[in-house]
Amino acid sequence: MKPLGRRHFILKTGAGSLAAAFLGLTPPMTRRGFGQEPKVASQKLGIGALANPHHPPRAKRVIWLHMAGSPSQLDTFQPKAALEKYHGKECPAEYLEGERFAFIKGVPKLLAPPHGFKQHGESGHWFTELLPHTGAIADKLTFVHSMHTTQFNHAPAQIFLNTGHQIIGRPSMGSWLSWGLGSENQNLPAFVVMTSGQFLPSGGSSCWSPGFLPSEHQGVRLMNNGDPVLFLSNPKGTDRARRRRELDALKGLNQEQFTEHGNPETEARVQQYELAFRMQAEVPDLADISTEPKEVLDLYGVEPGKPSFATNCLLARRLSEAGVRFIQLYDWGWDLHGTNTSDDLITQFPRQCMRTDKACAALIQDLEQRGLLEDTIVIWGGEFGRTPMNEERNGSKLLGRDHHPHAFSMWMCGGGFRPGLSYGATDELGYHITENPVSVHDLHATLLHQLGIHHEQFTYRSQGRDFRLTDVEGLVVKELLA
């Protein structure tokens, strides 16, 4: 007699029917299992759940440049005369009353930026002198200086920025788009992730998790060394024909499981195997940047064979050309508390700017030259901002800033965003927003809008309720759009 699992035993008996009735599940839901109520069990790769966009899209894809650790808005794009005037003075009490900080204790002192600023372009955007290449494309960028978040520690803030919720378990934006829009290239995943810097983001793989969506929508991470994707190469003694026969056999076994139990994750597993097989033929050539002309490598500042943020930016352009829907780059090294020379504003901040500035500008220029920028959204920023006060943790004499959720800056480019715009404002210290606040949910709603998606209609049913990326909030910020 074939053994029967406890869950399947309950569902195949009267107890299963009683439980289904109690939970308000229809019979098909009992076949899928408790808590799983997908409108579409699993789409064929390349085909999204949305048969048609809700409205004509301005963009087809997103490249998200996430500066993990969070750059200071006050040292990059928002010079404040009051910080220069009151540098070294105690922070006014009204800013500290009822406030929570990650590390600051006592009464901190105000801190002026240690590096100079310069205005660029006809738009007159301010940039730190450490970002000359990005400054040179100022008129192509759309700045939001009034971003705010609900989280002030890295992991929950990164997860919130990616999934719309600070607790793990929700799908990331890339996974939502993979599920909803699919990939433009059936030989590649719709959602790709790359990392640079000493560490992964604090939120880990939860930042590119599919949550309750079918697992084939998880972000696929391209590696810096060895196989571009883990285990992409066949093991010794296995050629492509043999691998095809193995997958066909596995597909038959999984189909039997799906027919018997109806678990959508079984179907998702088949789709992942098939995608991996197709990726074996396409990804190695795609990841080989040595085929790029020398002038392109020089534009980005790339050295073939040497992993870097610049290399990832060039790969992001190549992936965009190849039809990947959502490409996310994480660069760690922006958590500048001032506890040592590897996280201070005098040594580490210039180092980070030098590592990333040229490549960010090159990516925009390269996309524009190839006619891709008009339907590609590029977005740059961290998970929160930084305080206008020096942290001085444990009496440190180095310069650094604590986490700050109330106000920070991000920029977007392409994909129908309004170039040259500076949106939102903060008070004289850069502490509180004074004009046009933009929440994380507003940002998500606006990005989805540009991709042809109405965020309130873009839902997935799980555990008895309809979920969406913007949760129960979010407004499209139309002033940002061209």
d(CA 393, CA 370) in angstroms, rounded, equals 47
Predicted TM-score of the model (pTM): 0.87
The length of the chain is 482
Fold of 40-480: Alkaline Phosphatase, subunit A (3.40.720)
In the block, residue with structure tokens 């990516």: 363
Res 117 pLDDT > 90: yes
Confidence band for 245, pLDDT divided at 50, 70 and 90: confident
pLDDT at 277: 65
pLDDT at 261: 79
pLDDT at 25: 38
Share of the chain above pLDDT 70, in %: 87
Cβ contacts of 344-349, under 8 Å, gap ≥ 24:
344/398, 344/399, 344/400, 345/72, 345/75, 345/113, 345/114, 345/115, 345/398, 345/399, 345/400, 345/401, 346/114, 346/398, 346/399, 349/72, 349/75, 349/115, 349/130
Domain chopping of the chain, boundaries: 1-34, 40-480
Confidence band for 243, pLDDT divided at 50, 70 and 90: low
User: What tokens appear for 258 in the block?
Assistant: 């799906």
CA atoms within 13 A on the CB side of 15: 6
Res 225 pLDDT > 90: no
Average pLDDT over residues 451-456: 98
Res 459 pLDDT > 70: yes
Q: Find the Cα–Cα–Cα–Cα dihedral 322, 327, 329, 330, rounded to 10°.
A: -150
CB 49 within 8 A of CB 39: yes
pLDDT at 422: 98
Average pLDDT over residues 310-332: 97
User: What tokens appear for 50 in the block?
Assistant: 């949305």
Summarize pLDDT for 169-221 with one digit per residue, the tens.
Answer: 999 999 999 999 998 988 899 999 999 999 999 999 999 999 999 988 999 99
Q: Mean pLDDT lowest for which of 50-59, 251-260, 347-356?
A: 251-260
Q: Mean pLDDT lowest for which of 43-57, 100-114, 399-413?
A: 43-57
pLDDT at 258: 78
pLDDT at 236: 77
Look up residue 190 and give its DSSP letter: S
d(CA 142, CA 379) in angstroms, rounded, equals 9
pLDDT at 244: 73
Q: Label residue 306 left, alpha or beta by phi (over 0 means left) and psi (-120 to 50 means alpha).
A: beta
Summarize pLDDT for 324-352 with one digit per residue, the tens.
Answer: 999 999 999 999 999 999 999 999 999 99
For residue 168, CA distances in Å to 291, 445, 460 come to 40, 20, 17
d(CA 210, CA 218) in angstroms, rounded, equals 5
Confidence band for 14, pLDDT divided at 50, 70 and 90: very low
pLDDT at 257: 81
Average pLDDT over residues 391-403: 97
Relative to beta strand 422-423, strand 141-148 is: parallel
Confidence band for 253, pLDDT divided at 50, 70 and 90: confident
CB 223 within 8 A of CB 470: no
User: What tokens appear for 384 in the block?
Assistant: 């929160």
In the block, residue with structure tokens 């788009």: 177
- 375 phi/psi in degrees, rounded to 5: -120, 25
Summarize pLDDT for 272-311 with one digit per residue, the tens.
Answer: 766 766 767 677 788 889 899 999 999 999 988 899 999 9
Please provide the average confidence, as pLDDT, over all residues in the chain: 88
Confidence band for 11, pLDDT divided at 50, 70 and 90: very low
Summarize pLDDT for 371-383 with one digit per residue, the tens.
Answer: 999 999 999 999 9
